[in-house]
Structure 1
């Protein structure tokens, strides 16, 4: 990874820490207090041993000092507990913020952009990679401050007692961060490669899991298992590379810390036997001084060693932040969300003028288009696959950016409050999505406050109650995004009931009878015919035999609107006539 990029990512990570500055200051303060208590603990312990060994003081006279030692140990344990809690809260608050940034960005980019990558990639980005930042904020950043404050305080205490020991501390201390940085140079790169491998494996596995039935039917299970094995081998290799660097870093830090402590111990050993006579300001080295400094010696290097241990968390966070920052900074045209309320939400009319629908990257997907849909008018949108129908629907829903004009009740779409506009839409798609929850939860998705009577009524109108009553738990039957044991027709009728309960003034129907059997199609069409009465309706359909009931038909081809009129007017000419001819031939062949 480029060093400048590492610096930029580190700067971005530190800028996020300002959101939880209070928790971080609490964590640092408790760590510093624990360091001060440690000095007091070392002093009491050294004094007790000095009194017992050198002064031959009766142990009962030292009861107060023993009690003080126990109290200090308890207070240090309390500080350690508080520091862990504050560090966790700090990381949690920042992680929630970063995750919200990602979700807001995904919402702004819309479903059309999200479908461009496997679902597993987004799951890895939102879950695993954000989680990997926890230790950076909870441990590494507070430890950076403690790695300076605590050694400085120990030096301030040690130098007045023995300048030689203080000088040893001062000279050997930079070795720890120096070798920590030296070993950690490749850690960020290793973590970045690890996260890339994790993203690929997550996306690959999730997509294959969803299409397992298809893979089995085409006898591709073994081949895909080999692909998963290869992807998991790459992830395993990358993970071991990260762990190898982490273990190497810890070993190096422990080695140099041990050498430094040993130098201090050797100095005092020779000082006690009279071989060394410097560093003590002309006063003989006492047992208290030697024990006090020796007890503090490991603790002097401990904050630096902890920083080295948590340096791996920094490398992890930088590796995770690369994909997140890249996603947050992606240049894409977004559908702007205005703040103008939707006027007369109970009666919708739409006017489209010179519309060009754009992809998030700015590519023209359809257009220019010009048409209008009057209040309570029923309009069909037809055309061959790839004509641009889905792009037009995404633009009307506010999921894709556009050029030109889309006016809803004479207000430009990008000036409207999108939440309010979508609340006025009752949508039924060709692939009914049932969220995890009960049948009742799915019906009330757009209107959670609906009463049980309202739910029963729309279920009857959508002909869904006939199978819901046969379920063991009825409306409390649990379903999921794979329909949870319900047939496609049953799931579609639940989707129709859900749209009815929302009771929007604009009905948007995207192939509502696709993949349905004849009986389910009849029931769904009957319920929809009742629901869209006195409602503005736009229906996308490949079933041309359903067009007779529509007041007007829009025909698209290659992103352009090629026909616009009633069925009687345009069915004998142009693309619609060709489509009807092909449909009649297929029916005769059948």
Structure 2
């Protein structure tokens, strides 16, 4: 738990440090308002002793005027403090969100396979909102009350040391419950945030797959499960609230109880003529300030505990290191222009989540520049994994992959990926216009280049039929477009990249005959003068490839042309027989 506090403090210092001027201004306003508030006690003493007791209208007018001056100064100082502190809170949280997002987007994909994306999203939103509240408000309140507490105690001693000693007797009694309940609140705050993240993750998962949920009439089960998740979050929150409520109640009881005893003792002294009524009024005022400050601090502690938990979760994200990084020394450059030759040398690979299961087993494969190679084989053979390795989403556990003779681990990942254009089975489209999605890999592409790529991909006609043409905004994941339309936009996006190596992952497998026909017409232009790797289950789409590699259980089972494999590779012959009925008709 101390580690959480250290992380929270260090995170706040790192992000607040660039805004020293605003921080100094806020601190100055904070000290100023605290000083003015404490001065009000002396104003009350003068008001009673010189205004009320003397019966002088002139003195009363002077003290009341002084009182209003103090109030005016307090209002100005409070405005400056609130504005600057709130500005710092919003600015810092905006910086944290940007840094966390920038860090996450560069992490290796394996991280997101072992961590729920929606939970990470919750950290980026919910946890940073907690920090915003704390940095932009709670810390200011805590510091203000701390100054008021210290200043109030000093003025209590200055005003009357005897009465102050009565109040000080209650301090150890107040500190004890703060320490006891504070530990419990801190632990429960972290648990509460975890449960809230679970709620957000579950909502995102269900709403993201709402069609499947409703198609299977799974709403009752999901409602019940969500109810359990919400109740778990509520149970933890209830325990946290109960501990904080006990803390606040005990502190108020002890502090105000001490103030009550002090008023009784002070009243006896006023009656005996040992102190003036103004001194007692000022002392009561300072006592209330001290009591209120302690009570507020005890309440703020709970918020600070929540912030510590939120900061710890954010720091965990920021400290997560990507396993895919540029080489520590100067990255090796690729030859120019890139030809697109690919060599796999004794490549072995197992996913981090299943280190004992090799998905690729000692594979050797040479793909000359400009050649079209089809990858076929049963599901789980390792075809898509090869694409992940080529794009360096993962590194092999043994062996190496070379592009134009350069080991991909010696390249900057960004330079390597500029060599590839990917068209996946389920193309990813993003919220934005059609044109934005086509120029996704080349943001500087002109409108003319976007339209030219769309024409080659046989997408121009349907795009112009959309309400705003190329400026039509797409819904999430391309909502509103058919599978064939999405795929043609994805092909246009790959075309505009003009990359030397093309990766086609089941680009036509889920399409109707007409859409497949249009895309098959677009592919030759896309594949021309490029090294092309095609994953396909339907052999009819790849039988005319330069070569076909047959994969099975992570091993290269055979390689050759369609006709060669029909006669030399039993696995391919069996696949051909299943799809073409008889190998002879293939």
How much does 1:492 deviate?
0.9
Is the deviation greater in 234-243 or in 372-381? 234-243
The separation in 1 between residues aligned to 2:335 and 2:33, in whole angstroms, is 62
Residues 386-430 of structure 1 deviation map (CA, whole Å, 9 limit, x = unaligned): 112222211211211323322223332223222232233221111
The separation in 2 between residues aligned to 1:426 and 1:463, in whole angstroms, is 18
- Which of 300, 303, 307 in structure 2 is aligned with 1:310? 300
2:325 alignment counterpart: 336
Distance 1:326 1:449, change over 3 A: closer
2:562 alignment counterpart: 567
1:583 alignment counterpart: 579
1:347 alignment counterpart: 339
Correspondence list, 1:358-507, <5 A: 358-361=350-353, 363=355, 364-403=358-397, 404-507=399-502
CA contact (8 A) 2:566 2:583 kept: no
CA contact (8 A) 2:52 2:60 kept: no
2:109 alignment counterpart: 111
Secondary structure at 1:401 match in 2: coil
1:3 alignment counterpart: none
CA contact (8 A) 1:439 1:475 kept: yes
The separation in 2 between residues aligned to 1:75 and 1:345, in whole angstroms, is 70
The separation in 1 between residues aligned to 2:209 and 2:564, in whole angstroms, is 44
Secondary structure at 1:430 match in 2: coil
CA contact (8 A) 2:342 2:367 kept: yes
1:531 to 2:526 alignment: yes
How much does 1:43 deviate?
1.4
CA contact (8 A) 1:112 1:394 kept: no
How much does 1:376 deviate?
1.8
The separation in 1 between residues aligned to 2:337 and 2:105, in whole angstroms, is 23
Distance 1:498 1:113, change over 3 A: same
CA contact (8 A) 1:336 1:415 kept: no
Distance 1:513 1:461, change over 3 A: same
- Which of 243, 255, 264 in structure 2 is aligned with 1:245? 243
How much does 1:350 deviate?
2.2
2:122 alignment counterpart: 124
Distance 1:52 1:496, change over 3 A: same
Residues 184-218 of structure 1 deviation map (CA, whole Å, 9 limit, x = unaligned): 33223322332332233333332222322223333
CA contact (8 A) 1:379 1:538 kept: yes
1:236 to 2:228 alignment: no
- Which of 10, 13, 25 in structure 2 is aligned with 1:15? 10
The separation in 1 between residues aligned to 2:456 and 2:257, in whole angstroms, is 81
The separation in 1 between residues aligned to 2:114 and 2:484, in whole angstroms, is 28
CA contact (8 A) 1:28 1:143 kept: no
Distance 1:587 1:171, change over 3 A: farther
The separation in 1 between residues aligned to 2:532 and 2:361, in whole angstroms, is 21
The separation in 2 between residues aligned to 1:130 and 1:230, in whole angstroms, is 26
Correspondence list, 1:271-290, <5 A: 271-274=269-272, 284-290=274-280
Is the deviation greater in 365-374 or in 428-437? 365-374
1:213 to 2:216 alignment: no
- Which of 68, 71, 77 in structure 2 is aligned with 1:70? 68
Is the deviation greater in 153-162 or in 442-451? 153-162
The separation in 2 between residues aligned to 1:182 and 1:72, in whole angstroms, is 39
The separation in 1 between residues aligned to 2:218 and 2:186, in whole angstroms, is 37
Secondary structure at 2:400 match in 1: strand
Distance 1:42 1:488, change over 3 A: same
Distance 1:52 1:479, change over 3 A: same
CA contact (8 A) 1:358 1:401 kept: no
1:281 alignment counterpart: none
CA contact (8 A) 1:172 1:260 kept: yes
The separation in 1 between residues aligned to 2:89 and 2:579, in whole angstroms, is 61
Distance 1:105 1:557, change over 3 A: farther
- Structure 1: give runs of 5+ residues left out of the alignment: 1-5, 278-283
The separation in 1 between residues aligned to 2:25 and 2:558, in whole angstroms, is 68
CA contact (8 A) 1:333 1:361 kept: no
Residues 124-163 of structure 1 deviation map (CA, whole Å, 9 limit, x = unaligned): 2222133223344445555555555433333333323311
Residues 414-454 of structure 1 deviation map (CA, whole Å, 9 limit, x = unaligned): 23222232233221111111111121221121222222211
How much does 1:488 deviate?
0.8
The separation in 2 between residues aligned to 1:325 and 1:272, in whole angstroms, is 57
Is the deviation greater in 506-515 or in 558-567? 558-567
- Structure 2: give runs of 5+ residues left out of the alignment: none
After TM superposition, the runs of 4+ consecutive aligned structure 1 residues lying more than 6 A away are: none
1:182 alignment counterpart: 180
1:43 alignment counterpart: 42
1:299 alignment counterpart: 289
Distance 1:413 1:552, change over 3 A: same
How much does 1:346 deviate?
4.5
How much does 1:468 deviate?
1.4
Distance 1:501 1:433, change over 3 A: same
2:310 alignment counterpart: 320
Secondary structure at 2:369 match in 1: coil
The separation in 1 between residues aligned to 2:83 and 2:172, in whole angstroms, is 30
Secondary structure at 1:173 match in 2: helix
Is the deviation greater in 262-271 or in 363-372? 363-372
Distance 1:106 1:350, change over 3 A: same
CA contact (8 A) 1:357 1:392 kept: no
How much does 1:122 deviate?
2.5
Distance 1:297 1:352, change over 3 A: same
Distance 1:381 1:172, change over 3 A: same
Residues 166-189 of structure 1 deviation map (CA, whole Å, 9 limit, x = unaligned): 323433234333322222332233
Residues 434-478 of structure 1 deviation map (CA, whole Å, 9 limit, x = unaligned): 111121221121222222211211111111122112222212222
How much does 1:45 deviate?
3.0
How much does 1:580 deviate?
1.6
The separation in 1 between residues aligned to 2:402 and 2:80, in whole angstroms, is 56
Secondary structure at 1:273 match in 2: helix
